[in-house]
Amino acid sequence: MLLRCQMTLGRFALDLNVSFESRVASIFGPSGSGKTTLLDAIAGLREIQSGEIQIGDRSFFSSSRGINLSPQKRFVGYVPQEGALFPHLSVRKNILFGANRKTGSLNASEITLAHVAAVLEIGHLLDRSVVHLSGGESQRVALARAILSRPQLLLLDEPLASLDIGLKEKIIPYLRRVRDEFSIPMIYVTHDPTEVLSLADWVIVLSQGRLLAQGIPRDVLMSRQVLSHLEEDQVENVFNARLIDSDPKAGRSRVSLESGQEIFIPYVAEPVGRSLQILIRGDNIMVATKRPEEISASNIFRGVVSRVETGDGQALLKVDARDLFYVRLTSSAVEKLGLVEGKEVFLIIKTRSCRIL
């Protein structure tokens, strides 16, 4: 993908020049950074003064070559924040709206109503009125409608922003299913690091209409230039894991991370071998310089500090404990424990601090 855009909207200016190859690229940044403006430019909903937008071998816009495809000819599926469903139509008719358009998509014949409904688990909703859907159901229906239009590119503008944390964590697995099941490239706008780390293989970080950083999400979001732009609770660790066993009486399950390291998480009623994603916030990890004894926490990992970043009374540790963990502490805690690069530490993580996405 090539995104080269220069445009001015009142006092705001967007000036971006990036190119990348990605299955799911996330545009990340705070409110007012230009995320939705960029998405609208890709969709053809905003005028660009100069630049070029190319997806694969198709040019959507090129000021130098005089190309400016209409939104209809760009063949994109757009999922806005609020879903924008048609209240007078049933779920089925909402999903089928635009399903018969010709897109030239190579996998168009593989995308059927039955297939999409099965992936998003909305088959039981098809004959309902959309006015009676929950927020999570509405977003899944909006996503199904965009997919069934058989787009060559799927644009999602903070689709989970209006949902509470519990609903967000229920919808993220559906988004991963869409990513894995359909061969449709996605550009996903969000200000939530969890969504980036869970879904994207590339991230573009915007700040006041300019590129701040881009690259592999885990590396970029924890980099020096981006850390200062994150809110205090946005230092997060997301791990792919496999379920080993579960003990409902003890209220916990045991999973294996990609390194083979095992960790206890809250009980999950899923079959052994099931793939999961685990979220551990950096604020929920405790650090000790000696192995603790007789404590309630089930997860204790030995590691080595590989990076220390301090500023504004806060500190971020990067710890190599077979898997990489990012931990947020106060600067006083870092000083008290003498935490420097190369220091051996023990990470202490309560079972309940591990959340299943």
pLDDT tens by residue, 341-351 = 999 999 999 99
| Mean pLDDT score of the chain | 88
Checking if the pLDDT of 102 tops 60, the result is: no
Distance from C-alpha of 319 to C-alpha of 323, rounded to nearest angstrom: 8
Q: Are residues 56 and 105 in the same domain?
A: yes
Rama region for 171: left / alpha / beta (φ>0; ψ in -120 to 50; rest): alpha
> Cα angle vertex 174, ends 184, 107, to 5°?
25
Tally of structural domains, the chain: 2
Checking if the pLDDT of 324 tops 70, the result is: yes
Distance from C-alpha of 357 to C-alpha of 194, rounded to nearest angstrom: 9
Q: Are residues 203 and 260 in the same domain?
A: no
DSSP-based three-state secondary structure for 53: strand
Q: Are residues 103 and 248 in the same domain?
A: no
CATH code of the domain containing 270: 2.40.50.100
Checking if the pLDDT of 194 tops 90, the result is: no
Q: Are residues 149 and 284 in the same domain?
A: no
Interval 329-345 mean pLDDT: 93
Interval 66-80 mean pLDDT: 91
Q: What is the pLDDT of residue 108?
A: 55
Q: Are residues 185 and 274 in the same domain?
A: no
Owning domain of residue 251: 236-356
Q: Are residues 187 and 265 in the same domain?
A: no
CATH code of the domain containing 108: 3.40.50.300
Checking if the pLDDT of 261 tops 90, the result is: yes
Interval 8-31 mean pLDDT: 91
Q: Are residues 210 and 109 in the same domain?
A: yes
Instruction: Specify the pairing of strand 186-190 against strand 153-157.
Output: parallel
Checking if the pLDDT of 302 tops 70, the result is: yes
Q: What is the pTM of this model?
A: 0.79
Q: What is the pLDDT of residue 109?
A: 58
Q: Which residue has the higher pLDDT, 278 or 81?
A: 278
